[in-house]
Amino acid sequence: MKAAHFSIMAPNRMGLYGTVKDLIKGERFHGVNAEIVDCGFDGTPECRMLEDGWLKTVTMESIMNADIVVRHSAVPQSVTNKIPHLLALHGRPINTFLLTFQDRKNPLIETIYEIGESKNFKGFLCFWRKNARVWESMLPGMPVYQVPAPCDLERYTPEGKTHTFTGEYDFRVLIADMWREDSCPVTAILKAVETSASLFASMGVRLQVNALGTPKRARELLEIIRTKSKTNCIGQIYPMVENPEVLYRAADAVITLHGLATRVVRESLACGTPVISMDPAPEYQAYTPAYHEGIPDLTGVITRIMMKTKEERKQESRRYAEVTFDPNRAGAVMKSIFERVLG
């Protein structure tokens, strides 16, 4: 069986591409001849020839005999007119709606419906249970297949180069969520800053709050807060980096707003770093704070984490990642979907 994934190849710059690479690895493990084609954002027939380690893009001509196409980015109509295709829904439904609402030149919602009604279309792919339920309600009569979200377990490991955070602190948290239309990580950052005072007062624990993937203007504002406020718990504020694993390994915990196993969640757990989810019902193994009158108690949840040794936390997180985010597991599901839609 031959599968062609159409995606932008953007190592360390686009989480979507990382997921595509992990899927291809898993599919190849199960005997699928899986390839990647990069036609850019506009689906031009002239593909970009690129290389990322073991993975290389291929030409359009080389995949015209593929059994199935998986759309992660634009695909020329000449391909989908000939070959059965699936569309991967990487985005959250609310964020997809907001992107469409805010930019009429980016009609994502309309495009999803158009693809669903196009020739040779076989169904949608979704990587998270909660999102799949919403998409199913929005796309009546159109199959939505759920695929377990994978992670590169060879790159994201507890062993390897580790960052050294500055300052003398007892517990260091990292907030690394992407800044998107429907999600603002400053919520988690400021809640962690607020927690630092109560954690020191109740336990004498010095908490450091670090952030990763922070846009330029947000870094400027957080720097003002750091210098003008009474707290000294705000540590290092980073933009996007090429090697986030060194920061995941250095942190005692990663805090996320999300109940979905985003790339940040998967990579952190694979690196052996426990995740604190501010979603009360996450879909993955996480420490969740108790809520009092709608306010999360991060002091209590950090206290629970500190009751375990760092080695215990590392092993617990890594074991879960190895079982849940194995690319070979995702590859097996992808192969079964291909077989199902192709009959």
- The answer regarding whether domain 2-150+326-342 maps to CATH 3.40.50.2000 reads yes
Dist CA 260 CA 149 (whole Å): 10
- With beta carbons less than 8 A apart as the criterion, state whether 298 and 192 touch: yes
Q: What is the structure's pLDDT at 228?
A: 83
- The answer regarding whether domain 171-324 maps to CATH 3.40.50.2000 reads yes
Do 2-150+326-342 and 171-324 share a fold? yes
Per-domain residue ranges of the chain:
2-150+326-342, 171-324
Residue 109's CB is within 10 A of a number of other CB atoms, namely: 15
Residue holding tokens 């291809």? 24
pLDDT band at 340 (very low <50, low <70, confident <90, very high): very high
Global pTM reads 0.93
The pLDDT tens digits of the residues spanning 103-127 come to 767 788 888 999 999 999 999 999 9
The pLDDT tens digits of the residues spanning 31-64 come to 999 999 999 877 777 889 999 999 999 999 999 9
The pLDDT tens digits of the residues spanning 4-34 come to 999 999 998 889 999 999 999 999 999 999 9
- With beta carbons less than 8 A apart as the criterion, state whether 298 and 275 touch: no
Position 136, amino acid: E
Average pLDDT, integer, range 231-246: 92
